[in-house]
Every structure is written in structure tokens, then in C-alpha cells.
Structure 1
Amino acid sequence: MGFPLPIELLREIFINLHSEEDHADLFCVAFVNREWCKTAIPLLWESPFYSMTKETIWRCLNIRTYISGIKEESRNILIEHGMDLKSSPVGTAFDYTSYLQNIDLWNIKTAIRHYLIETQKKGLDFALSKTRLLFQILYMHFLDRSRGIKKIVIKNAQNMICLMDDLITLSFLKQSSNKFTGLKEFHSDLYAGNDFSNFYKLMSGCSKNIVRMNIHVKTIQEGDALATLVKSQNKLKHLKITSQSNCYIPVFQAIEYQKSSISCLRLKDLNFQKITKRALEGLMSCNLLRSLSILNCTGFKIVNLQPLSFAFPNLQKFEYGCDYNQEKFPEEFIIGILQTSGHNMKKLVFNDFKNNKHSHELINAIKFYCPNIENLKLQRIAFYQALTLFQNCIHLKRIHFDGREIFDTDSLLYKLSQNVPPSLEIMEIIMLFQKPWTITPKTLEKFLKNSRPSFKLLRIHHDSSSPVFVGPKKITTFNEQHFNIIRKYGVKLYMSSSFDPDYINPIIIPEEPITIRRKNQSAVIDDDLDLDFITTTEFHSPSIIVNIHTITTNYTDHNVHIHNTTNITQPISLVSSFFSTFFGSH
């Protein structure tokens, strides 16, 4: 047997195999031996509600496992309310709840509802009526056993107002508040429902180490409370503010308290028309900012925001987006941003769908002020503009542009091939499905040859000029001769369209293996049902759940016997066995 790696080193390796969206690699290493399993399991159970999709969420075996770990008093309450817990015998191989660090309220609610339908077999009405009770039981179990919560995500709250009430009531009890002292991320999209200013005030008293915050301000009281929350942080780095009213202004004023630490700021749906001088000064004080996003914001012309464009000399990324309002593209403001950031600017993203033709002045500003640009996403540009960027942005790694108004396309690609930035890795082009670019195989080969060895991916998206499908039922931009050239140079190709992929297949090179998906046989559930408007005679007060947890219960340590499975010969059956072992049977 080889020299065993230290547990600390194993954990660092496994962390790099692991993400909230994909647990597959981490599942595999848990089969190797006892030590690897003991190292992988805590990472798998840090975020058990983040990797669920509509195809797999119905299993919800993690809920079943958590129920096996709850206290006897809690089990008795669930049984008294008609729940069958035979699928969750008492005791688990690991103390899974102690590993929990990330809470996503929407996914927990959805997982609970699916669990109730799949295991209780009493219909949708029963599942809806018991969702809140089971949430209260499990949430108190999470707070009781978890070593500390590091991330909270609250979204789609208009369908979970009663659960939000429970979250507020249960989270900041005296015996629970210490679980949030290590909170690092807080994402709240509370754009409907009651006022949650008290929740934010309670958070500001015990959670002072948040580094990433995403907040939606909808009332004056919430704006003041969120301003207090922002002020109370020791080192806030990332902040996203969304608001459809002027309630965000106190938060802007509070940003000044984080000016030495904040590096990323995202502003969405804000109206700058009534911004105060103090709020603007608070924003301008963040001169260490490295990333700024302005999305669907209005009032650039009504209020003089030009001084703001000269406030961020260290900016490396800037994003501007506008998808539904008629606000004119704030070109002067954006050119000021580019001029001030200069050589520091590495990434520019423009998603201006209403005014999506870029001017000669903007392209020249990118050319002269941002020579170190690496990532560039533009809307519609002309022939000469594309060529100008290739000739002057020599550090460019990725470029995306809308080329539907470029007509001499073969000539353009030929000229681009003569001026390819040596670092270019990805090029993404939008063109019309009905009138795709005409590119000869010879020109394509010249481009790919001159872009070696850095170039890796060509993405082409075919938009439609009409919602009604007219034309061939396949993408005709390239033929087999083009495909052979792409294979020859080892470049990846992805061609898609705005039509349904089942109607017009995307073209992918190298060809991806066909994945057989298991059909979801669970009951159809409307996840948008609002629990607050369900007619039921039961109301589960949080105080009931709080009282049953006043009794201290000692947890018994379970002996874990895991056979060495180094020589794996049947990976598919082992993965299935792993799900059954660690999420089901105990």
C-alpha cells in the first residue's frame, strides 16, 4: 500500500473536486476506503440542498436521513400529526446535521414537500398542510446540531411568507443566535410579502463577518435595517443591491463604512433620479472597487452621475445591462468609466437589448483606454469595429459580439485571421438563423491555423428575426467540410439556435455522448403554491417546536464499518449503493 496522505491534504484535494452544483466526483472518492469516506462525507453534507434539480429532487433522501437524526420528542410530534416515519429509523452512521453550513430556504421547502408526497402517499393536500410543521422540526434540528451556518439563501419568498416568519422566530432565539456568528454569505430576494426589517436588525447584532451580501430593498424600514446590517460588518467585500423604489438610499450611505474592503458592487433596478448627495458620496468613496455592474438602472440623464464615472481607478470589470426600460445607453458615463480605469480594465460586458448598436466613440474608447482588455461582450457591431478590436486588443482571451448586421462575413473572418490576438481562446458570434454567415472552408481553416495554439472554442448562436419558424429544420451555417477542419485543429464547436433544441438540434464538436435520463415518476407538484393561502385547520406555532428542544438529549456515537473498496469493478452499482447507504439506510 502506498504512503497514506494526511487528512488535511486529502481535504484540500477533495474541496477542489467539490462544488455546490456537482457532487459526482466527491461521491466517487467516498468509495475508496474508510479514511477517504470520513473525509468526503462532511464536504458532501455542507450543502445538501444545492445540487437538486427537477429530475432528482423527488428522491429527497437527505430529508429522510435528517429525520433519522431528530430528537425523540420531535419524532413523536410528527407521528402525532399523521406522518409515517418507517423510512427513517432512529440513528445515522454519521452526524450529518453537524456538517451543515449552507441553507437554501426555497430548496429545503421544495425537498420537504417532495419527501412528504413520495413517502407519505397521502396526496398533495397532506403534503402542503404538513410542510410548515416539518420545516420547523428540521430547522430547529439544523440549528441544534450544526457547528455553524456560513451561507443563507432566501429566494421566491412570495410563496414562503409563513416559513419566513418561522425563520425569523427560530433563528435568533438565545440558544440559536450563536450559529450565525460565522455567517459569510447572505442572499435575500425578499421582493414580496411582509416587512422583514426586524430580521435584518437581529442579523446585524450577531452576524458581523459577512463578506458577500445580496439584498432586495422594498420598504423604507428595510432600507434602514439593511443599512445597519451593512455598517455592522467587519469586512464586506461583495454587495448586490436591488430595489424598485428609492428605499436603497440609506444602504448607499452605509457603503462608506465598507470603503476599505468592498471590491465588488452590483446595482440592479435602481432609479437614480432621487439619489441624494450623501448617498452618491458614499458610493464614490469605494475607490478600491474592482468590479461594478449596473443592471436595468435608470435616471442617468436626469441626475448628473458623471462624477461617479471618475471614482473607480482600480476597476477591472464593468457590466452594463438594460433589457426592459427605454433608458438611453449612457455612453458618456461608460466612456468615463473606461478612461478612469484604463489599463486596469480586464472585462467589459454590455447587454443593452434596447439600444444595442455600439457607436464609433465607444469602440475607440475601448481601443485607446483599455489595451489590457481580456474579456469583451458586445452587442451589434460593424465590420470595421470588429477588425479594430482584433487589431488593438492584443491581450484578448474571449470576445462575444452580435454580427447579424455584418454582411461581408467571409471577408471579415479572413481579415480577423490576419490579426488574431495571440491569447484568444473563445469567440462567440450571434447571427440570424434565416441569414447565417457565409464562410468558406478555406477562410475557416486560415482563421483556425492562425489562432493556434490558444484558441479552444467557437460558439455560434442563431437568433430568429421572427417567432414563427420559417426555413430548414437544421443549422446550415457549416457543412461537413467545415466540421472536418474543426476536428483537424482540435477546436470545440457549439452551434445553437433560439428555437427549441428538440426541434432544431444544436451542433456540437467533438460530439458529446448521449445521456439517458431517468423519467421522473413522482407526482406533479406546483412549487409556486403559496402556503399562506392554503385552507387548513392546522397552524403549527414555532413555540411548540421550541419547547420540545428545552430538554437536553445525549447523542450516541455510532460505530461505522465501511469496507475497503479500492478495487471497484462495478461503479454504477456502487454509486447506487452509496445513495442507498448514506442517504437512506442507516
Structure 2
Amino acid sequence: MSGSKANLNTILDQSYRECHDIILNSLKNDLQTLYSCIRVSRSFCRTFIPILWMNPFKFVKDEDRLVQIFNTLIHCLDQTWLVRQSIEIEQLLTPKAYFKYHTFIKEFELNTLQKAMRIWISIHLSNRNDLFRMSSERSRVSKLVFMINKCIGDLFFNKGGQYDSLNLFYNDFLSAILDISKFKNHKESLANVKKLSLGLFNSNGMELITPIAENFLKLQTAFSPNIQHLQILSINNSIRPNEFSRNLVDFIHTQRHLKSLLIHDFWKDEFEPFLKALRKHAKSLTFFKLECPILFTTHLSSMLRSLPNLITLELKFTPIPDGDASREISAASFSNLEHLNYDCCLSYHSTNHITLFKKILLSANHLKSLRVDDTYCLFIKEIQGQCFLNLTHFHLILHRSCAIMDSMSLVDLMELLRNLHQLIHLKLNTVLNRYRLLNRIESFKRFSQVLARSLKILEVNFPVSDEYLEVLFNESKFNLHCIKLYCYERTQDISLRVFIDYAKRNERFKELGITKEFKFSKELIEEARNRFNILIHTNSEINSPFYDVPIKNSYWCNRR
């Protein structure tokens, strides 16, 4: 046994250093494997604990786990400080921390930390302190947050923390506004930040804007001008104070080489300065995500004209009537674009956005993935008549009473898919999934026949019965590697048999994704697992983009 451990531990030897990054990078999002690794030996524990703690909140979606993580951080604090502040802890759930866990954190999330703190205080701090006995529960928790904030802030910004990513999402609680700039070593902690997220979701008005703006203004001097990925979101769209907006636009302008920018419409009253800031990053910016409740297409066209090197473009907006944008649109270049997510409410009161959509498809010669709703199918087919679309990934949002159910819409969809000869990954996503494939076997057979031979992954979120699955597998020319069903209608055990029979004919089929566990017979499960994996996924997974998003917000970062 000792010999086996010795051989296993040689993986971590410095002579294999060139392999470490490859191994660790492949495991950084595999929570189950990481937890298994820390149980192997002390050496493995010392290696893999820092990976788990790069952002310990990233994988957590329940409050109990959130509290456990914060409880570990509490044990990294100076316990004598807690005693001096008359903060009594009813029960220490863990012994003194074995590691300086806070120093492993590379992705700091303010709101997640504050959320964990408030829950932890409400659970684990006793009510014996006279100072809080007569206060309401919310007031008591808020006062304790003020007290602990100082010590937690010191832990993160005075005790050696070095952050690659900073997420500052502010909520309704004044006590959550941690002034990072007050800690003497905060500049050292923020000097290497490459990803920065700033978000506001205050529902009570403007009273918190001033302290938030002041805090961010003080932090700007600490940030390097070499931030690569920047996200600025305003959850409450009524918050657009001019001074703060100008400050944010100036911050964008001070950066040297932004690679990605994810924003809402905070710049509306500062469009020309914002456009000037965008132009500064014309060569470096490759990822641009813009969400606006309403937007002049002339403004959008001016922005896109300023960004000729975009690889990924996400747009979510409602166009409003404006002037003729054809000149700006014709001057825009999309020759490097590979991924397009075009979420625009179709409005014939403003046709500029339709012209823009056509321009993108016509000039984006390297476009690989497209996400769009079915109201744009007509325009896609029109473009297919003018040029060849080399799409390999296609996500279609079905609005029109579900295109699969409506015979006329089904014809439109088949004509569109018939010409996507290189398609590898197809997502068909109904907005309302109550529809059923009833009495449309012949139509569905023709639909299955037009799917590209190259198709490897298929995801649908409308109910599909065994009868239709058999048609799909028998009539199609593809060899699927994976199918994900988000509204799978199961009728007894025959459902799993459909996939087993398909796997017998197609050895490349290796994954079935469903949204809940069914009580299949033990024999069928064993037979299925000998041929393919059965994975449980969430309903929201169908909306995951085909490409990597540079800034990924955790489950808690924008929750109150």
C-alpha cells in the first residue's frame, strides 16, 4: 500500500512540473474529481485545495454550502478580535483552519461573500449580546455585518490576497458596501486583476448610488490599466446617474487593451464619449455583449463599425425608429466574426436592425455559431440564396406556436436546415414547452431526413415520445454522439430501449441527457450503461452558449 501511495505521489514531483498545468487546468471545473483528489494523501491535499478555493462559491447553489464556506473563512480570522468585539459564537463547527484558505482565492465576489456573511450571522451568532436584544432581526444582522466586514475585509485585502478576477455586485443593503480602498494593502491585492465585473441591482432608488460611485472612483487608481475583460451591468435600468455613467465611460477609456466588454446601457446619456472609448479598443476587443431595453440601430451600427475584430457578438435589444443607418451598416466589418447571438424583438417600424442582421450574415465568412429566434428564419433563408453559410452550431428559439408543431413553420425550418451541410450541434428551444408532437409523424419523418449527416449533438426542449424518437433515429442520416431531451415523455421502460437499440446500430452514441432520473428497470440501466452514459442536467442548460464566455457570474453574485 505504501508503495502504491509513493508511486501515486510521484505525479506531483517537480520533475513532472511541465505536466502539472495540463492536469490542473483540465480538472479546475470538475468538482467531483477535485474532492476525490484531496482525499488521496496530504501531498494531493496541498496541491488540490488551492484549486478548489480559487473561487469556492463557484460550484455552490444552496445556502447550507454557502454558510459552510463562510464558516471556514471565519476560522481564518483572529479569534481574539472576535472576543474583543464582544461577538460570541455559539458553536464552532470546525477546528482552526489547516490552511490560509483566503490566500488561495483568486476570484473575489463581493455580493456572494456578503450574502454568506448575513446568513452565517443569523444562524451562528447568539442573541445574548445586549446591544442587539431589542433590535429587529434585520437590524441586528446589519449591525453585525458592519462589525465583521472590517475583519473580513482585512483578511482579504491586508493578508496577502492576490486577485485575478473581481466581482463587485452591489445590492440593497448599505452594510454590504464594503469600502475596499480603506484597507492599506488593497492596491497590492488588485494590481493583477484581469477580469472586473461591476453590477447594480438596487430596487430602492438612488440612495446607494453615491457611496457606490465614490468607492469605485477610489478603486480606479488601484486597478491596472491592463484589465482584459470588463463587465458593467445595471440590473435596475432606472439607475443612470450622469456622473457615475461618465465615470464608467472614462474607466473604459483608461484601459489599454480590452479583449471583452459586457455591458448594459449605462452610457445612453454619454454616447459620443462611449463611442470614443470603444474606438480605442478597436484592435483588441474580440468579445462584445450588449443588452439594452431600447436602442437606436444607428447607435448600434456606429458601435459595431468601431469594432472590426469581433469574434463573438451578443446583442439583446428592442429597436426604436431612427434615421437611415445604411451608411454605418455598410461600413461595418464582420470578417472575423465566429459567434453571433442576435436577440432582437422584430419590429417593422424600424427595419435597420433587419438590414444589420443580413449584413452580418453576408459578411461574416467565418461564422460558426448562430443563436436567433424563428422570426428571423425568413431572412436566414434569403441569405442562404446569396451565399453559403458554414454554420456548425445553430440554436433556434421557437416562438411561432412552436415551429415543430405548425406545418407551415415546419416547412420553413426544413428548408433552412436542409442547407446547413456542416452542422454539428443543433438546439431547438421552444419558449412555451407545453406543445406535443401529435399526428405529425409524416412531417417529422421529413424533418428528420433533412438533418445534416454531420450532426453530432442534438438538444430539444419540447416533449418527444418514443414513437417520434424511433422516427428520428431511423430516418436521419447522422450518427449522433449525444442527445439531450429537456421534456422527455417516458412511457414505461420502452423509452430507454429506444436509445439502447440506437446505440447498437451507432457505436458513436455515448451520451443521453435528461432532466430527471426515471425509475428504469435495473436490467435496462445496466444494459444502457454498457453502451452510453446517462447524465442528468438542468432545464437551463440548453441556453448555455456554444462558446466560452470570458466572465461567468456565479449563482450568487447578483442575488439579494
Same fold, TM-score > 0.5, yes or no? yes
What displacement does 1:337 show?
A: 0.9
**1:118 alignment partner in structure 2:** 123
CA contact (8 A) 1:295 1:320 kept: yes
CA distance in 1, matches of 2:513, 2:58: 28
Please name the residue that 2:483 is paired with: 457
Cα offsets for 1:353-380 (capped at 9, x unmatched):
xxx5345333232565452101112234
Deviation per CA, 1:383-433: give whole Å up to 9, x if none: 3333223332111112233686998742343334444323212233454x7
Say if 2:55 and 2:106, in contact at 8 Å, map to a contact too.
Answer: yes
* In 2, Cα distance between equivalents of 1:65 and 1:359: 52
User: Residue in 2 aligned with 1:294?
Assistant: 315
Q: Are 1:180 and 2:197 an aligned pair?
A: no
Conserved 8 A contact 2:142-2:175? no
Q: In structure 2, what residue type is equivalent to 1:220?
A: N
Could you say if the C-alpha distance between residues 32 and 443 of structure 1 is closer, same or farther in structure 2, counting changes exceeding 3 Å? same
> Does structure 1 residue 133 correspond to structure 2 residue 150?
no
Residue 444 (str. 1) matches residue 459 (str. 2)? no
What is aligned with 1:371? 389
Task: Find out whether 1:17 has 2:38 as its counterpart.
Answer: no
- Give yes or no for the alignment of 1:386 onto 2:394: no
| Residue in structure 2 matching 1:400, options 427, 448, 462 | 427
- Tell me which of 249, 255, 260 is aligned to 2:283: 260
Q: 1:259 and 1:67, CA in 2 relative to 1: closer, same or farther beyond 3 A?
A: same
- What secondary structure does 1:70 align onto? coil
Shift of 1:274: 9.5
Q: Which residue in the other structure is 1:486 paired with?
A: 499
User: 1:142 Cα shift?
Assistant: 0.7
Are 1:44 and 2:52 matched, yes or no? yes
SS of the aligned residue for 2:454 comes to coil
Aligned ranges for residues 1-150 of structure 1 at < 5 Å?
Answer: 1=3, 2=7, 4-5=10-11, 6-7=13-14, 8=17, 9-19=19-29, 23-54=31-62, 56-57=64-65, 60-71=67-78, 75-77=80-82, 79-84=84-89, 87=92, 92-122=97-127, 124-125=137-138, 126-150=140-164
The aligned amino acid for 2:121 is L
* Deviation, structure 1 residue 220: 1.8
Unaligned 5+ runs, structure 1: 463-474, 516-526, 531-586
Using the size of structure 2 for normalisation, the TM-score is 0.74
- What is the deviation of 1:101? 1.4
Q: Which amino acid aligns with 1:202?
A: K
Contact residue 338 and residue 370 of structure 1 kept, 8 A: no
Deviations 1:218-257 (A, max 9, x none): 2222222112221222321111111267236233321111
User: Among residues 235, 243, 259, which one is paired with 1:221 in the alignment?
Assistant: 243
TM-aligned CA distance change 1:88 to 1:451, over 3 Å: closer
- Within 5 A, what are the aligned runs for 1:531-542? none
CA distance in 2, matches of 1:186, 1:313: 28
Q: Which consecutive unaligned segments of at least 5 residues does structure 2 have?
A: 129-136, 203-207, 235-239, 404-408, 504-508, 538-556
How many residue pairs match? The answer is 478
Q: Secondary structure at the match of 1:295?
A: strand
Q: Match of 1:189, SS?
A: strand
Q: Is the 8 A contact 1:50 1:104 kept in 2?
A: no
Distance 1:425 1:529 in 2: 36
Give, in whole Å, the separation in 2 of the partners of 1:350 and 1:213: 25
Q: Measured at CA, do residues 325 and 101 of structure 1 come closer, stay the same or move farther in structure 2, by a change above 3 Å?
A: farther
Say whether the 8 Å CA contact 1:158–1:190 is kept in structure 2.
yes
What SS class does the counterpart of residue 147 from structure 2 fall into? helix
**TM-score w.r.t. structure 1 length?**
0.71
Aligned partners of 2:195 and 2:229 also within 8 Å = yes
**8 Å CA contact retained: 2:418, 2:450:** yes
Rounded to whole Å, the distance in 2 between the matches of 1:274 and 1:219 is 23
Residues 297, 322 of structure 2: 8 Å contact kept: no
Equivalent pair of 1:396/1:424 in contact (CA under 8 Å): yes
Distance 2:266 2:255 in 1: 25
Task: Give the corresponding residue for 2:554.
Answer: none
Distance 2:468 2:335 in 1: 44
Counterpart of 2:256 in 1: which secondary structure? coil
Tell me the distance in 2 between the aligned counterparts of 1:528 and 1:391. Answer: 41
Using the alignment, how far apart are the partners of 2:335 and 2:536 within structure 1? 48
Q: 1:204 aligns with which of 220, 240, 259?
A: 220
Cα distance in 1 for residues equivalent to 2:28 and 2:318: 36
Residues in 2 aligned to 1:39 and 1:479: alpha-carbon distance in whole angstroms: 47
* DSSP 3-state at the match of 2:255: coil
Relative to structure 1, is the Cα distance of residues 430 and 529 closer, same or farther in structure 2, using a 3 angstrom cutoff? closer
The answer to whether structure 1 residue 339 and structure 2 residue 352 are counterparts is: no
Aligned-partner SS, 1:251: helix
| 1:393 counterpart letter in structure 2 | L
Residue in structure 1 matched with residue 457 of structure 2 by the alignment = 426
Alpha-carbon distance change, 16 to 445 in structure 1, aligned in 2, over 3 angstroms:
closer
Instruction: Specify the SS of the correspondent of 1:206.
Output: coil
Q: Which residue of 2 aligns with 1:313?
A: 335
1:167 — aligned with what? Answer: 179
